[in-house]
Amino acid sequence: MTITTKIEAQRRADEINIFQGELERLQQGGILTLSEEQKHAVSTHHLALLADFSRAFDIDRNLSSRQLSTGMRIASFLGALALAASVFFLFYQFWGTLSTSAQVTILVLAPLGTFLGTMWVQKVDATGYFSKLAAMVSFACFVLDIMMLGQIFNITPSDNALIVWAAFGLLLAYTCELRLLLAAGIVCLIGFVSARTGTWGGMYWLDFGQRPENFFPAALLLFLVPQFVPHQRFAGFAMLYRVFSLLALFLPMLVLANWEGSSYFDVDPVFIKHTYQVAGFLFSMAAIWLGIRHHWPEVVNTGVTFFVIFLYTKFYDWWWESMPKYLFFLVLGLTAVLILVILKRVRAAQSGDLK
């Protein structure tokens, strides 16, 4: 089998490590005994494979290198955030003392230069940590660029800024396999789609948050992206799309289930409130079912989280005033236990299916 991506290489390396551990245990238990030549052949083959993967994809060859990688990822993430903030503050610190032409030149060149820099770093940096850092700075420069041009020329705010930020964020995210920028791009995309939905409904684009239903088309769009665009090469990307899709669905539902006045529908407010409360339960249960069926743990977890939130807010409505507090929290605790029992049964049933 030809390995073409880092994810595949890392998966293969992990399988080799697991195999080696299991082989050792089998040999120690006397269940399987390989001859010296066989041991040597397997070991040489695996070492050569790992060396190849390491050279081509900079994978973690063992547990300790994986732990170090995690540390490097955290450092890279924090560094990227700090550098992006630094770019913002650097410009703010001095921009008032620059002429308009100098401001514009700096603003245009900053994202261009950092983008070209990111592409160069990505070419020479096999680990990807430095290119991810550079990509974050480039994105920050582009956001700053558009924001500041708007401020310098007193341009009327437009939702078009969100779509170009989303496009740039997604471009960098896919180029550098950077989930943080994917999240930033998705947030901008949610903003743009929701704002456009709002303007089609006749409202001013910046007011799109006043009608939470504006987020539903974005939720649907995000959920469909990983269904139609293959993401095997990009670790965690499909997961992020699904999580943000569920957030764009459940958060507005939660708002409407409690503050029904912000709905588009001109019907009885109590009816709207109850409809969204029921929809919240049904959709979170559907998410749990869908997640279990398709082996999407993030969908299951988000579904469970919102199911519990919907349930607890309902309990609050019903009993917070009427029940003694110890009893109220006891009910919450017992409900959590009940949910655990149900999920345990589902898990057991699923394990049975797998057998």
Partner 1 sequence: MMNWTRRTTLIAGVALILLTNMAALLGAAYNQGGEPTSTLQLSERELQLPYWRGNKDNSGITLDLRWRSSGTSNTVSPYDDDDPAWLDKAKLASLGFDVSMPIDTDPQRAIYRKQLSKPVFLALEFDGPAYRHVIELAKKRDAEDLEKNEGTDPKKVRPTALSQELNLASRLFVVDAGLDSEKLRAKYPDTHHYCIVRGQIQPSVIRDEEKRPLMTGYIKDVAAQSINVPLEFRHVFVPILQKRNANFAYEENEKRPKFDATVAFGKRLEPWLAAASSK
Task: List residues binding partner 1 (CB under 8 A).
Answer: 89, 92-100, 104, 107-108, 111-112, 115-116, 119, 123, 142, 145-146, 149-157, 164, 167-168, 171-172, 175, 202-204, 207, 210-211, 261, 266
Return the number of the residue (2 or 100) whose C-beta is nearest partner 1.
100
Give min distance, CB of 166 to partner 1, in A. 11
CB of 328 to partner 1, least distance (A): 31
Least distance to partner 1, CB of residue 92, Å:
5
Q: In this complex, which beta carbon is closest to partner 1, that of residue 47 or of residue 152?
A: 152
- Identify which of residues 266 and 353 has a Cβ nearer to partner 1 in the complex: 266
If the CB atoms of residues 60 and 145 are measured against partner 1, the closer one turns out to be 145
Q: In terms of CB distance, is 138 or 245 closer to partner 1?
A: 138
CA atoms of 67 and 3, how far apart (whole Å): 23
DSSP string, 99-116: -HHHHHHHHHHHHHHHHH
Separation CA 142–CA 134 (nearest Å):
12
Residues 170 and 70: their CA atoms lie apart, in Å, by 23
Q: Of the candidates 199, 187, 186, which has an alpha carbon nearest to the alpha carbon of residue 158?
A: 199
Residue closer to partner 1 (CB basis): 269 or 333: 269
Smallest distance from partner 1 to CB 257, Å: 17
Among residues 123, 12, 125, the alpha carbon closest in space to that of 58 is found at 125
Question: Contact, 246 vs 218, CB < 8 A?
Answer: no
Structure tokens given for 189 = 């995309």
What's the CA angle centered on 108, arms 103 and 111, to 5 degrees?
Answer: 120
Judge whether 346 and 307 are in contact, CB under 8 Å.
Answer: no
Closest CA to 137 of 94, 76, 92: 76
CA dihedral in degrees (245, 302, 275, 332; nearest 10)?
Answer: -160
Could you tell me the smallest distance in angstroms from the CB atom of residue 253 to partner 1?
19
| Residue with smaller CB distance to partner 1, 208 or 310 | 208
CB of 209 to partner 1, least distance (A): 11
266, two tokens: 């001109």
Smallest gap from Cβ 149 to partner 1, in A, equals 5
Give least dist CB 102 to partner 1, A: 8
Closest to partner 1 by CB, 158 or 350: 158
**Residues 6+ away with beta carbon under 8 Å from 76:** 129, 130, 132, 133
